[in-house]
Amino acid sequence: MVPVHSVSTEPFCIQRFPFPGLEGQPWPVVAPDYGQLEALRTLLPSLGRRLCDLTELMLAGAGPDNWRYPYHPTERDGEVCDPDDHNSSPMGTFPRCVSPFGVRDTLVKPTWGVFDEQMRRALKDRGGPPFLPSLTQVEGFAPDADDFALAGGAVRQTTFYASSNFGGHRHTRSAPATPDDDLRLCADPGETSVSKEADYQRRVDRFRSSGLSYGAFLGPASEPTGSKF
């Protein structure tokens, strides 16, 4: 778990549901891998969005009063959120799995985000290394420097990271994509436009029709089809 620390954020917007942010949408089969996260960080500003950072993700789940679980300040209830982080029901199936800020399904799977300096400083200032643990580290391998990590825990208890809003871990750059992680996007207020939104929606449609492939979302922009936005 990350140590208790004060945070400061600028106003930000966050998807209510995990990517692509649509209620009733199936979860992607696997999370983006490290290379896809790098590509997303480059592409998303042109679509009026960006990757969230870890501080934003944890705040979105914990709310203004720092709840341990999205649905309760201190007490875990294994039936409130989807109990299966590998073969999860469509997003929004569990209506009580909602944070004080109204963000849904935050504790089903850990969420990829940018490893922001605020988080690094909090870890380092409390005597720990300025990174979160990874599975390879637990197995005895040396950590490598990462730009991305995963915020929050998962519904299952058999993990080495905490199954709460304040769990955190990472995967090494060479690790394959996994089915028990997810992604949701953030945006700075006022950063979108009609053209950016149209391009984003075209890519989401392509993502969905491809079988939920991040590669399809990241592919070259398609030509306008004449649809009105």
* Percentage of the residues of the chain whose pLDDT score is greater than 90: 54
Check: CB of residue 176 under 8 Å from CB of residue 121.
no
Q: Quick: pLDDT tens for 58-98.
A: 999 999 999 999 999 999 898 899 988 888 999 999 999 99
pLDDT band at 128 (very low <50, low <70, confident <90, very high): low
Band (pLDDT 50/70/90 cuts) for residue 4 is confident
Q: How far is CA 100 from CA 76, 91, 104, 207, in A?
A: 15, 18, 10, 30
Mean pLDDT of 178-189: 92
Q: Which residues contact 62 (CB under 8 A, 6 or more apart)?
A: 68, 70, 99, 100, 165, 166
Quickly state the pLDDT bin for 9 (edges 50, 70, 90).
Answer: confident
Per-residue model confidence (pLDDT) at position 136: 55
Cα–Cα distance between 140 and 134 in angstroms, integer? 10
What is the pTM (predicted TM-score) of this model?
0.85
How high is the pLDDT of residue 160? 60
Of 27-41, 49-63, 136-150, 209-223, the least confident: 136-150
Q: What pLDDT is stored for residue 137 in this prediction?
A: 52
The C-alpha atoms of residue 217 and residue 221 are separated, in whole angstroms, by 9
State the DSSP H helix or E strand holding residue 195, giving kind and residue range, or none if neither.
helix 194-209
pLDDT band, very low/low/confident/very high, at 143 (cuts 50, 70, 90) = very low
pLDDT at 225 over 60: no
- C-beta of residue 133 within 8 angstroms of C-beta of residue 150: no
